[in-house]
Structures are given as structure tokens and as C-alpha cells.
Amino acid sequence: MRNFGEWRWGIGLVVAVLVLGLPVPQPQAKPQERVFRVTARQFAFEPPVLQVNPGDRVVIELRSSDVVHGLYVEGYDVEAVAEPGQPDRIVFVADRPGTYRLRCSVTCGDLHPFMGGKLRVGRNPWLWKGAALALWGVTLALFAARPRTREGGR
């Protein structure tokens, strides 16, 4: 009985790892150049969410409407810094699918640490893998894993 219990844990884990390895289909559009004119203000980027397809060449023209702001793309490690009247430009190829945070990288006021946006490259595989993994966890808990109680009984 005990062995069987341990077996179930093992199978549960193996399936979890397999779920994490599942490929997430990505849009198969022809790569193109995408130009975004992003305006930074205290404390937001407009537009806040940039959507591209994997392989697209991304051009971000950053301008500021009040103080100095930066735009740092997490995961791609590129950064633009714009002063009012002095726009900046970054170009990169978004070759890895996922959702990447855009963050202001120049201290610009109280809410600066929370100023951000998102770059969505295709579908974020982690969102779907996370959902599948959670579903697997719930299923496992519902039907396989024996519950643990203080009273010891089932």
C-alpha cells in the first residue's frame, strides 16, 4: 500500500515534468517589422501592451511627455531612454516567444518601481503550461493523492 502511494507521487511528478515540456503552438506568420510609438508618462507606457509574432523585428520609438523615462525590455535586455523632446529608439528581433515585462529603468517619481508594460511575443508558453500544470495538480488531488488529516482517517 505504502509503495503504491509512493509510486503515485512518482507518476504525478513525471507527468508534471512532461506537461512542462509540452510544446505550445505559436502563430506561424511571416516575420515582419513592427514599429511602436510608445509614449511614457508618470507612471505608464502608452500603449501598455505590445503584441508581435515570434521572429518579428521590433522597433520601439520611445518619447516622454513629462520627465526622463527608460524602457527596459526584460528577457531581451535592451533599453531606451527618452527625455521630453528627445525620443530614443531600440530595434531588436523578438525571436523568443513569451510575455516580457517592459519596465521603466530611470527613477522618475514615486510609482517608478511599478511603471511597466508588456511585450507579448506570440503566445506565452508559460501561461499555457502553468494552466495545464495546475489542472493536472487539481486532477491529481481530486482523484489520486490521499488527503492528509489530523484525525488520521479518510
Partner 1 sequence: MTARFDVLRYPWVRRLVVSRWPQYLVRVTLLALFLLAVLVGWLGTPVGNRNFAIVGVWIAWWAVLILVAVPFLGRAWCSVCPLPLPGEWLQQGSLLGPRGRGGWSLGRRWPRRWRHIWLQNAGFTVLALFSAVILTRPGVTAWVLLGLVLLAVGVSLVYERRAFCRYLCPVGGFIGLYAQAAPLELRVKDPAVCAAHTEKACYTGNEQGFGCPWGTFPLGMVRNDVCGLCFECLRTCTYDNLALNIRPLGADLAQRRGAKLDEAFKAFILLGSALTYAAVFLGPWGALKDAAYDVGAPSWWGYAALLVGLSWVILPGLFSLGVWAGRPRLSWRRAFTVLAYALVPLGLAMWAAFSLAFVAASVAYVLPVLSDPFGWGWDLLGTAGWAWRPVLDGWLPLLQAGLLALGAFWSVRTARGIGAIWGWPRAVYPVAGYVALMTGGMLWLLLG
Binding site for partner 1 (CB under 8 A): 16, 20, 41, 43-46, 48-49, 72, 74-75, 98-103, 105, 107, 110-118, 124, 126-127, 129-131, 133-138, 140-142, 145, 147-154
Q: In angstroms, rounded to a whole number, what is the distance separating the alpha carbons of residues 79 and 103? A: 9
Least CB distance to partner 1 at residue 134 (A): 4
Question: What is the C-alpha separation between 45 and 24, in angstroms, rounded?
Answer: 29
Q: Which of 58, 62, 94, 104 binds Cu ion (CB under 5 A)?
A: 104
Per CB under 5 A, the list member of 50, 58, 80, 108 interacting with Cu ion is: 108
AA identity, residue 2:
R
Start-to-end CA distance of the chain, whole Å, equals 15
Residues 6+ apart with CB under 8 A from 16: 133, 136, 137
By beta-carbon proximity to partner 1, the closer residue of 60 and 102 is 102
Choice between 63 and 69, CB closer to Cu ion:
69
